[in-house]
């Protein structure tokens, strides 16, 4: 979940799917992992090239210094001059130079030869040489480090423009020490005689190195994209799709559609989850279907929620008037369709008013209401049943109507029946009274026993006619009853 702010300032959440999250995590891991490898490769390549170049040039500088020392000691300065003249132009990418500690190019004039001749007292070294190497000016900082005690070799890598082309040059400046064996000719009052510079053009190797890094980078990006695509597809097939299907199934079950199943046969955790959800859907469907035939109280009793006990209940009996003659003149299919329609309409209304259809007895509905305002909900259900039945069969060849009886009082509810067949139902005087009132009610009439009516007599949504004394079968005394009607009709 990523939180961000809308323009209104209220927090807004952006939800990433599990597939996106996993893909992001995997891609981040790939980028970091592969990136580290590529970066390490690139850095290693550069470091190795630099170290090789540096080491090689330092070794070449050592060779040059050794050459100079061995040329000079026997007094072969002209050979050294010729040597430097030759190797300084030997290769377009490699050059050498020798500088006095003042920064002047060695052999550029006769200054050193004159000084040496003076020190040894003999004109040993010729002046005015024909061949003199020409060296480019040195780097001042490198010369400074090479001629200051303690002298240090310097490696400089720099970009230059030669013949109109950008080139990468590595220069090594190595100090030339005034060794004791040099003192005889050059004097002992200085430690550094000069600096040798070895230069090489590494443009080609740098380009090859850059190409290698670029190719590695391209391979890296391609590999990340490829592996990311493979993983995304794998995640979609193994996680995202089944989870989405499970979510879709749960949504359908919530909407009352139990027909769907998740088709995922894997033995992994998602597969176990899919099978569990499928089994759960089957169980829910069975319970849902069972609810059509068994009262909610029975289901609750089966679950162990309720035991047998005495309690206050409101009983509603509803019976279709003239259904016997209706059924005798119609084919069975029409009879069942019409009966089911009437019963279904009444059951829905009872459920709407939080009542429980206890049972259907032929064309009769037995409903039980409990809890706060049970009498009010029973009366509301009765009024709606009359209205809906009337509307539901409007225009029919033989419209149906119902008579309803409502009674309230203490009943015993519990599992009633044998050990092989039992119902969770209610028994007691209010049950019998409601049944008798139902039988006595005319089509479209609701008779409410006084004990039930006293709880709702003052409610404005109802109107009552009565009280009337009504003799009921099985009752010694007349029972006080009211005829229920819509509001503001009290007589």
Partner 1 sequence: MHKCLVCPVLGSRVFVALVLVPLFIMTGCASKKAAQDLDLSGYASWERTTQVQLNFPIPGHESHYRKIFMNKVGMDYRRANEAAFKSGEALEYPDGTIVVKEIFGGLDDPIPGEQPATLDIMVKEKAASDTLGGWRWLIGDPKNGNEMVMSGDFCANCHNGANEKHPYGDRNAGNGFRDFLFY
Which chain residues interact with partner 1 by CB under 8 A? 73, 148-152, 177-184, 187-191
Supply the minimum distance, in Å, between the C-beta of residue 56 and partner 1: 19
Q: Coil, strand, or helix at residue 35?
A: helix
Of 155 and 349, the one with the shorter C-beta distance to partner 1 is 155
Asked if residues 57 and 155 have their Cβ atoms less than 8 Å apart, the reply is: yes
Q: How far is CA 376 from CA 122, 279, 380, 454, in A?
A: 140, 40, 6, 10
Q: How far apart are CA 446 and CA 402, in angstroms?
A: 9
Of 99 and 317, the one with the shorter C-beta distance to partner 1 is 99
Residue whose entry in the numeric block shows the structure tokens 């309409």:
345
DSSP state string for 224-275: HHHHHHHHHHHHIIIIIHHHHHHHHHHHHHHTT----------SSHHHHHHH
Supply the minimum distance, in Å, between the C-beta of residue 37 and partner 1: 36
Supply the minimum distance, in Å, between the C-beta of residue 179 and partner 1: 5
Supply the minimum distance, in Å, between the C-beta of residue 146 and partner 1: 12
Supply the minimum distance, in Å, between the C-beta of residue 189 and partner 1: 4
Asked if residues 96 and 126 have their Cβ atoms less than 8 Å apart, the reply is: no
Per-residue buried b or exposed e for 114-138, using 16+ beta carbons within 10 Å of the residue's own CB:
eebbeeeeeeebeeebeebbebeeb
Q: Coil, strand, or helix at residue 130?
A: coil
Of 76 and 109, the one with the shorter C-beta distance to partner 1 is 76
Supply the minimum distance, in Å, between the C-beta of residue 68 and partner 1: 14
Of 174 and 386, the one with the shorter C-beta distance to partner 1 is 174
Q: How far apart are CA 316 and CA 487, in angstroms?
A: 20
In angstroms, how far is CA 106 from the centroid of its own chain?
72
DSSP state string for 50-114: HHHHHHHHHHHHHHHHHHHHHHHTTT-HHHHHHHHHHHTTS-SSEEEEEEETTSPBTTSSSHHHH
Q: Coil, strand, or helix at residue 369?
A: strand
Supply the minimum distance, in Å, between the C-beta of residue 150 and partner 1: 4
Supply the minimum distance, in Å, between the C-beta of residue 192 and partner 1: 8
């Amino acid at each position: 979940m990523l939180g961000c702010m809308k323009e209104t300032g209220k927090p807004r959440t952006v939800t990433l799917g599990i597939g996106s999250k996993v893909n992001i995590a995997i891609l981040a891991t790939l980028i970091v992992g592969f990136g580290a490898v590529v970066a390490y490769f690139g850095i290693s390549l550069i470091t190795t090239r630099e170290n090789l170049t540096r080491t090689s040039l330092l070794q070449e500088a050592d060779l040059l210094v050794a050459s100079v020392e061995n040329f000079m000691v026997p007094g072969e300065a002209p050979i050294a001059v010729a040597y430097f003249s030759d190797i300084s132009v030997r290769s377009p990418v490699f050059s050498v130079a020798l500088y006095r500690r003042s920064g002047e190019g060695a052999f550029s004039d006769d200054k050193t030869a004159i000084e040496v001749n003076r020190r040894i007292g003999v004109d040993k070294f010729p002046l005015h040489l024909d061949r003199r190497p020409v060296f480019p000016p040195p780097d001042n900082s490198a010369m400074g480090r090479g001629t200051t005690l303690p002298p240090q070799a310097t490696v400089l890598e720099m970009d230059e423009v030669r013949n109109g082309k950008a080139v990468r040059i590595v220069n090594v400046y190595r100090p030339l020490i005034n060794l004791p064996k040099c003192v005889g000719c050059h004097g002992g009052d200085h430690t550094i005689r000069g600096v040798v510079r070895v230069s090489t053009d590494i443009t080609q190797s740098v380009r090859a190195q850059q190409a290698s890094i670029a190719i590695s980078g391209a391979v890296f990006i391609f590999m990340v994209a490829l592996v990311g695509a493979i993983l995304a597809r794998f995640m979609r097939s193994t996680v995202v799709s089944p989870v989405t299907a499970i979510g879709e199934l749960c949504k359908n079950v919530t909407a009352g559609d139990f027909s769907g199943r998740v088709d995922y046969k894997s033995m992994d955790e998602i597969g176990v989850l899919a099978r569990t959800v499928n089994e759960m859907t089957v169980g829910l469907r069975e319970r849902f279907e069972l609810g059509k035939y068994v009262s909610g109280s029975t289901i609750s009793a089966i679950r162990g929620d309720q035991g047998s006990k005495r309690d206050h209940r409101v009983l509603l009996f509803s019976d279709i008037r003239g259904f016997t003659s209706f059924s005798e003149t119609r084919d069975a299919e029409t009879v069942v369709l019409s009966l089911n329609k009437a019963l279904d309409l009444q059951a829905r209304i009872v459920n709407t008013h939080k009542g429980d259809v206890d049972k259907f007895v032929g064309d009769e509905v037995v409903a039980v209401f409990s809890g706060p305002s049970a009498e009010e909900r029973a009366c509301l259900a009765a009024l709606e049943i009359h209205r809906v039945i009337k509307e539901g069969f409007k225009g029919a060849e033989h419209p149906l109507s119902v008579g309803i009886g409502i009674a309230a009082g203490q009943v015993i509810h519990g599992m009633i029946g044998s050990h092989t067949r039992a119902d969770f139902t209610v028994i007691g005087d209010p049950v019998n009274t409601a049944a008798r009132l139902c039988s006595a009610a005319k089509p479209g009439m609701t008779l409410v026993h006084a004990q039930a009516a006293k709880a709702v007599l003052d409610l404005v949504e109802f109107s009552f006619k009565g009280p009337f004394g009504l003799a009921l079968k099985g009752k010694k005394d007349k029972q006080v009853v009211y005829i229920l009607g819509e509001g503001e009709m009290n007589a």
